[in-house]
Amino acid sequence: MKAVKIKEGIYWVGGIDWNLRNFHGYLTQRGSTYNSYLILDEKITLVDTVKHYLTSEMLERIGSVIDPPRIDYVISNHVEMDHSGSLPELMKILPNATVFASPKGEAGLREHYRENWNIRAMESGTVLSLGRRSLHFVLTPMVHWPDNMVDYMPEEKILFSNDAFGQHLASSERFDDEYPLDITMLEARKYFANIVLPYSKQVQKALVGLQDLDIGLIANSHGIIWRKHVAGILKEYQRWASNETRRRALVIYDTMWNSTEAMALAIQDAFESRGYLTTLLSLQTNHISDIMTEVIDAEYICLGSPALNGRMMPTMSAFLTYLTGLAPKDRKAIVFGSYGWGPRQIDEMAGILSDSGFGVVAKEKIKYVPSREDLAGLKERISALLI
Ligand code: FEO
C-alpha cells in the first residue's frame, strides 16, 4: 500500500476502514478512513495515527516513502483511539521520538496508555519548527473532546484539522475534486450532526480562531481531504454551528397497529399545507444517526409513539436519549401517539423534551384507532399552530 502525495514532501499515510458499519452507534454505511500525514523535513513528522487494527497499513504506506523508524516527531491532535490507537505499536519502533499534544492531550495519552513516552504539551499559539516548515498549534477544546487541537502549516497553507471537517467515508479517492461532492458534503453533515453538534458554540469559537488563516487545504482525519471546496466546507460548518433552521418539519414515529402512523400522516399533511418542507421518518426503517442528519436544519421536531405497557416504545426512548444528548438548540416539538387505556407515553416524551430545552407546543393523543374526524381535527389543530 502506497502513500499519496498531498503536497511536495507531504503525504497521506492513513488507513481505510472499508468494512466499518458502526462507530459507537453511528451507522457508517460508507465505512471510514483514519487519515495520518507524513511530513518530510529536517524533522520527519507524522500527524496523527490510525485505529489500532490498521497500524500495519499505515506503516506500509509510510514505508513506501521512508523507513518508519526515521520519524522524529509525532503530533497527536486528539486522544480518541481512532487517531491514537497505533501509538503503542509505533512508539516501540520510535523510542526516541517526541510526541506533541495539547496539555489535556498529554494527560489523556498518559491516562489511556500508561506509557513513559516523551510527550510535550503545546499551548495555543506555540510554533514547532520542522526545518523549512512549521506547525502552529491552535487548541480547539470540546470539538469534540477536551484535548482537541489543530495544526496550521503557513508555508503550505495546510490546516491539519483532525476530526473537524471530516466524514465517515471509505474511498480510494483522497481529494474533494475526485469524489462526488454531494456525497462528501452529506457525510460531512452527518458527521457534524452525530459527533460535533453538542459543541456548536465551541465550533463557532474555533472558527473565529481560524478565520485569519489563509487555508488552501484542509487535511482532516476522516474521509475526503478538502482542497477545492475549502471555503464551502468552512461556510457549511459556520451554518451548522449557528443552529440556523429553515421552514422544515420532521415527523419521526414508531407505530404498532398503524394508528400513530395515521396521526403522523395527518401531521405531515398539516405542515405541508402551511408550506413546510416535511419529512416522514419511521423509526422502523431509519437509523437514528441518519435521522440526526435531518435534524440539523429542522424548525419542528414531531415525535410519535403509541403506548406500550404504559410507556413510549423502546425505539422512541432510544431516539430521545440520542437526540437530547446531541442537544440541538431552540427547536419546537410536537408529541403525539395513540393509546388503549393510558396515554402516559405522551407526557413522558414531552417531559424529556422540555427538560432538554425543546419548546413543546402540542401534545396530541387519540384513543385506539383514529377516525376520519379525529384525523381532520388533528390536522386542523396543528395547522392552526403554524399560522
Ligand atoms: Fe475521530 Fe474523536 O475521533
pLDDT in tens, 178-192: 999 999 999 999 999
214 CA to centre of ligand 1 in angstroms = 25
Q: Are residues 213 and 273 in the same domain?
A: no
The DSSP bridge pattern shows strands 32-34 and 26-27 to be unpaired
Grid cell listed for 58: 499505515
Give yes or no: 229 in active site: no
Give the SS3 label for residue 358.
coil
Last residue of one domain, picked from the residues 192, 224, 241: 241
| Residues contacting ligand 1 via CB (< 6 Å) | 78, 80, 82-83, 144-145, 163, 221-222
User: CA 193, 194, 200, 203 torsion: positive or negative?
Assistant: negative
Give yes or no: 78 in active site: yes
Q: Are residues 171 and 212 in the same domain?
A: yes
CB of 301 within 8 A of CB of 295? yes
| Residue 42 pLDDT | 98
What CATH number has the domain bearing residue 86? Answer: 3.60.15.10
Number of domains in the chain: 2
Query: Which residues have C-beta within 8 Å of that of residue 72, sequence separation ≥ 6?
Result: 43, 44, 45, 97, 98
Q: Are residues 280 and 257 in the same domain?
A: yes
Nearest residue (CA) to ligand 1, atom 3: 80
Q: Are residues 230 and 266 in the same domain?
A: no
Span 233-246, pLDDT tens digits: 999 999 999 999 99
Range of the domain at 161: 4-241
| Residue 211 pLDDT | 87
Choice among 11, 26, 191, 339 that is catalytic: 191
Q: Are residues 231 and 259 in the same domain?
A: no
DSSP secondary structure, 238-264, as one string:
HHHHTT--EEEEEEEE--SSSHHHHHH
| Residue 194 pLDDT | 97
Mean pLDDT of the region 331-342: 97
Give yes or no: 191 in active site: yes
Q: Are residues 230 and 268 in the same domain?
A: no
Q: Are residues 155 and 58 in the same domain?
A: yes
21 CA to centre of ligand 1 in angstroms = 15
Choice among 37, 78, 187, 297 that is catalytic: 78
Give yes or no: 82 in active site: yes
The DSSP bridge pattern shows strands 10-12 and 332-339 to be unpaired
Q: Are residues 193 and 292 in the same domain?
A: no
Q: Are residues 206 and 62 in the same domain?
A: yes
Mean pLDDT, the chain, whole residue set: 97
Q: Are residues 70 and 207 in the same domain?
A: yes
DSSP letter for 197, please. Answer: G
Query: What pLDDT band is residue 342 in, cutting at 50, 70 and 90?
Result: very high
Last residue of one domain, picked from the residues 193, 217, 241: 241
Q: Are residues 56 and 116 in the same domain?
A: yes
Last residue of one domain, picked from the residues 215, 241, 267: 241
What CATH number has the domain bearing residue 374? Answer: 3.40.50.360
| Residue 387 pLDDT | 79
Q: Are residues 159 and 298 in the same domain?
A: no
Q: Say which amino acid occupies 352.
A: I
